[in-house]
């Protein structure tokens, strides 16, 4: 018998047919899926960590950034322990999957599949088979994990500057379990909205509408910031805020480009449409600021960028380029109107302290994007992605008119579920720990909550001293709100 070679090649480097490179593996698809997941992860860490830590008042920089960082870490552990299979596993209920861990080696090395995505005609015969991308389950689990994580972080933008961190620690796993998994399974994992044909290409409903409504609901139960903070809440570092916003924008290539679960032509169109809509929306928001306020607001431009990204998300790979521009015009004007005009005239919106205006930038823009997708979804592009044959938007006739109705109902379900479940979660947590920080912590900020400060120019982690801290934290200013965060 011949002796084995002295230095055998590791299995990982062998060609097709080996355990590390099975015949079903497409290295290009796998590489793009992992890159997309990394881009979406970078949107949160460090993207939103930087943005949140910079867009808030100086005394809340550490707390705001840490809320985002904690949420990311907590979601990762909950996701692989039980939440992934509740979102993309076997069906338990028409809107919920069976819970279970996604940690087993054999499960993670097997070919990715979404078992509940088999789509049947009304007579019971199969219309579209189960989604089985050409990469391992490990890539799918991680890709979907970063989507879940950014949803919780976006939601947290509504309660910056006053939510008890201990309450936030409890809120994240509870909301992930009882709210996010419902939307994800219903629309993506093979649930009843998926089967009905509601379109949500990459999370206009699952991520943005749900985070906007849940954030607004949580803000109601937590209560407002201190009056001083609501009256004057300037960003502590505008340039760093732009760096975080830039990571958010560029990371959206993975957000929308990774959702066909393959590196195909539709993925390319989705990335291009995403950038076209975001750019149009930013320019539209800035133009409105100049026309009505005489000044181009940098924070306003960031808000316009975000609303454009949010609006195109449910239809990124389903609409043509001209439609992406139209959606950008509307996403740069409708949320601007609700934020700058409706907000000032509607008592409910003024009463609920939504710190970063997540209701406007995510709920309004996300629902509008879903409805516009039902209007503009192009039949050929739909056939590249959707399980329901002959899907189309309203402008293309045929069944397109019914699609708009489906989009309205699908969004209404997400809104209703989040209003109810988020309220129940907040009430339950409030029975254990206060949802809102105590008054002393609200007055002092990061130093009192964490014993740390973002810019400790007067010392490290020392207790509150009115001679060393900002005068606006100790004096009751009567300043007219200016800028986007001040309006909110």
Q: Is residue 421 part of a domain?
A: yes
pTM metric for this prediction: 0.90
Q: CA 87 to CA 82: how far, in whole Å?
A: 9
Query: Are 87 and 181 a contacting pair, CB within 8 Å?
Result: yes
Q: Is residue 424 part of a domain?
A: yes
| Cβ partners under 8 Å of residue 243, min gap 6 | 50, 54
Q: Is residue 295 part of a domain?
A: yes
**Which of these, 51, 27, 360, 388, lies nearest to 213 by C-alpha position?**
360
Q: Is residue 21 part of a domain?
A: no
Q: Is residue 252 part of a domain?
A: yes
pLDDT tens-place string over residues 300-311? 999 999 999 999
pLDDT value at position 451? 87
Number of domains composing the chain: 1
pLDDT value at position 465? 55
Give the CATH number of the domain where residue 234 resides: 1.10.3430.10
Token look-up 């002959």 returns 390
pLDDT value at position 4? 60
Q: CA 181 to CA 88: how far, in whole Å?
A: 8
pLDDT value at position 103? 96
Name residues of the chain where pLDDT drops below 50.
459-462, 471-488
Query: Are 84 and 103 a contacting pair, CB within 8 Å?
Result: no
Q: Which phi and psi (to 5°) does residue 136 adopt?
A: -75, 160
pLDDT value at position 466? 57
Q: Is residue 213 part of a domain?
A: yes
**Distance linking the first and last C-alpha atoms of the chain:** 79
In SS3 terms, the chain reads as CCCCCCCCCCHHHCCCCCCCCCCCCCHHHHHHHHHHHHHHHHHHHHHHHHHHHHHCCHHHHHHHHHHHHHHHHHHHHHHHHHHHHHHHCCEEECCEECCCCCCCHHHHHCECCEHHHCEECCCCCEEECCECCCCEHHHHHHHHHHHHHHHHHHHHCCCCCCECHHHHHHHHHHHHHHHHHHHHHHHHHCCHHHHHCCCCCCCHHHHHHHHHHHHHHHHHHHCCCCHHHHHCCCCCCHHHHHHHHHHHHHHHHHHHHCCCCCCCHHHHHHHHHHHHHHHHHHHHHHHHHHHHHCCCCHHHHHHHHHHHHHHHHHHCCCCCHHHHHHHHHHHCCHHHHHHHHHHHHCHHHHHCCCCCCHHHHHHHHHHHHHHHHHHHCCHHHHHHHCCCCCCCCHHHCCCHHHHHHHHHHHHHHHHHHHHHHHHHHHHHHHCCCCCECCHHHHHHCHHHHHCCCCCCCCCCCCCCCCCCCCHHHCCCCCCCCCHHHHHC
Domain span at residue 78 reads 27-99+136-430
pLDDT value at position 471? 46
Q: Is residue 127 part of a domain?
A: no
**Which of these, 111, 83, 101, lies nearest to 25 by C-alpha position?**
111
pLDDT value at position 460? 45
Q: Is residue 453 part of a domain?
A: no
pLDDT tens-place string over residues 249-271? 999 999 999 999 999 999 999 99
């Amino acid at each position: 018998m011949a002796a084995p070679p002295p230095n055998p090649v590791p299995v990982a480097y062998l060609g097709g047919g080996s355990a590390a490179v099975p015949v079903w593996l497409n290295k290009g698809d796998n590489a793009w899926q992992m890159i997309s997941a990394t881009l979406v992860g970078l949107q949160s860490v460090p993207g939103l960590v930087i943005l949140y830590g910079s867009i808030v008042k100086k005394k809340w920089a550490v707390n705001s950034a840490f809320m985002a960082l904690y949420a990311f870490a907590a979601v990762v552990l909950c996701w692989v322990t039980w939440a992934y299979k509740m979102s993309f596993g076997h069906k338990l209920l028409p809107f919920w999957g069976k819970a279970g861990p996604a940690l087993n080696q054999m499960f993670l090395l097997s070919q990715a599949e979404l078992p509940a995505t088999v789509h049947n005609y009304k007579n019971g015969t199969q219309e579209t088979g189960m989604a089985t991308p050409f990469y391992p389950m490990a890539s799918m689990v991680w890709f979907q994990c970063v989507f879940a994580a950014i949803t919780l972080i976006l939601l947290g933008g509504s309660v910056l500057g006053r939510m008890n961190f201990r309450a936030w620690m409890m809120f994240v796993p509870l909301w992930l379990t009882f709210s996010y998994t419902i939307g994800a399974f219903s629309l993506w994992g093979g649930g009843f909205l998926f089967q009905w044909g509601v379109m949500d290409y990459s999370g206009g409903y699952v991520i943005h509408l749900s985070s906007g409504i849940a954030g607004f609901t949580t803000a109601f139960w937590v209560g407002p910031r201190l009056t001083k903070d609501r009256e004057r809440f300037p960003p502590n570092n505008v340039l760093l805020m732009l760096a975080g916003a830039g990571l958010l924008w560029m990371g959206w290539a993975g957000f929308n480009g990774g959702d066909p679960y393959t590196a195909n032509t539709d993925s390319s169109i989705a990335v291009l449409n995403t950038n076209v809509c975001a750019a149009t929306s930013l320019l539209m928001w800035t133009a409105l600021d100049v026309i009505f306020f005489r000044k181009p607001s940098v924070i306003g431009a960031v808000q316009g960028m975000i609303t454009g990204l949010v609006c195109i998300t449910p239809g990124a790979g389903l609409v043509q380029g001209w439609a992406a521009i139209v959606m950008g015009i509307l996403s740069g004007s409708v949320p601007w109107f609700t934020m700058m005009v409706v907000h000032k005239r509607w008592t409910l919106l003024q009463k609920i302290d939504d710190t970063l205006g997540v209701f406007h930038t995510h709920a309004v823009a996300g629902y509008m994007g879903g409805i516009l997708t039902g209007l503009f979804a192009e039949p050929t592009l739909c056939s590249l992605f959707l399980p329901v044959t002959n899907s189309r938007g309203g402008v293309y006739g045929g069944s397109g008119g019914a699609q708009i109705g489906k989009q309205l109902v699908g969004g209404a379900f997400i809104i209703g579920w989040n209003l109810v479940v988020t309220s129940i979660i907040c009430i339950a947590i409030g029975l254990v720990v206060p949802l809102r920080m105590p008054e002393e912590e609200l007055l002092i900020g990061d130093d009192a909550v964490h014993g740390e400060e973002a810019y400790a120019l007067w010392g490290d982690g020392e207790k509150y001293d009115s001679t060393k801290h900002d005068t606006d934290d100790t004096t009751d200013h009567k300043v007219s709100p200016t800028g986007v965060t001040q309006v909110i």
